[in-house]
Amino acid sequence: MSATLLLEHAANANALPIQLRLLRFAQTLDVPIAPTLYIPPELLFETFVVQTNIAALLRERTTCASDPATVSLVEAKVLQLFKQEQLAASLARTITATYHQTLLASFVRLFSTKPIRDKLAQPYENISGDNNLLESVQLVANELLEQALIASRKTNTLVLAAASGICVQTQLQAHNSGTICSKHPVSPEKNVLTICAQLGVRSDRVSPTSYDWYKVHQSTLQEIAAQIGKKETYYKRATDCVVKTAVAVTQQHQRILNREQTTHLARLLQKISQTTFLSLVIEWEQDKEVLLITQINEQDMSQTSNNHISELEAQRWNALP
pLDDT, tens digit (0-9, with 9 covering 90-100), for 37-80: 999 999 999 999 999 999 999 999 999 999 999 999 999 999 99
d(CA 94, CA 90): 6
DSSP state letter for 138:
H
Where does the chain hold its CATH 3.30.1490.20 domain(s)?
Answer: 5-171
Least Cα distance to 179 among 193, 192, 197 occurs for: 197
pLDDT over threshold 50, residue 306: no
pLDDT, tens digit (0-9, with 9 covering 90-100), for 192-212: 999 999 999 998 888 889 999
DSSP state letter for 250:
G
Name the band, by pLDDT with cuts 50, 70 and 90, for residue 1. very low
Query: What counts of helices (H) and strands (E) characterise the chain?
Result: 10, 13
DSSP state letter for 204:
T
Q: Which CATH architecture has domain 176-318?
A: 2-Layer Sandwich (3.30)
Q: Give the mean model confidence (pLDDT) for residues 20-29.
A: 93
Q: Which CATH architecture has domain 5-171?
A: 2-Layer Sandwich (3.30)
Where does the chain hold its CATH 3.30.470.20 domain(s)?
Answer: 176-318
Q: Classify each residue of 122-145 as buried b or exposed e, where b means 16 or more C-beta atoms within 10 Å of its C-beta.
A: eebbbbbbeeebbebbbebbebbb
pLDDT over threshold 80, residue 81: yes
**Side-chain-facing half-sphere of 163: CA atoms under 13 Å:** 23
Backbone angles phi, psi at 186, to 5 degrees: -105, -40
pLDDT, tens digit (0-9, with 9 covering 90-100), for 117-148: 567 877 899 999 999 999 999 999 999 999 99
Over pLDDT 90: what percentage of the chain? Answer: 77
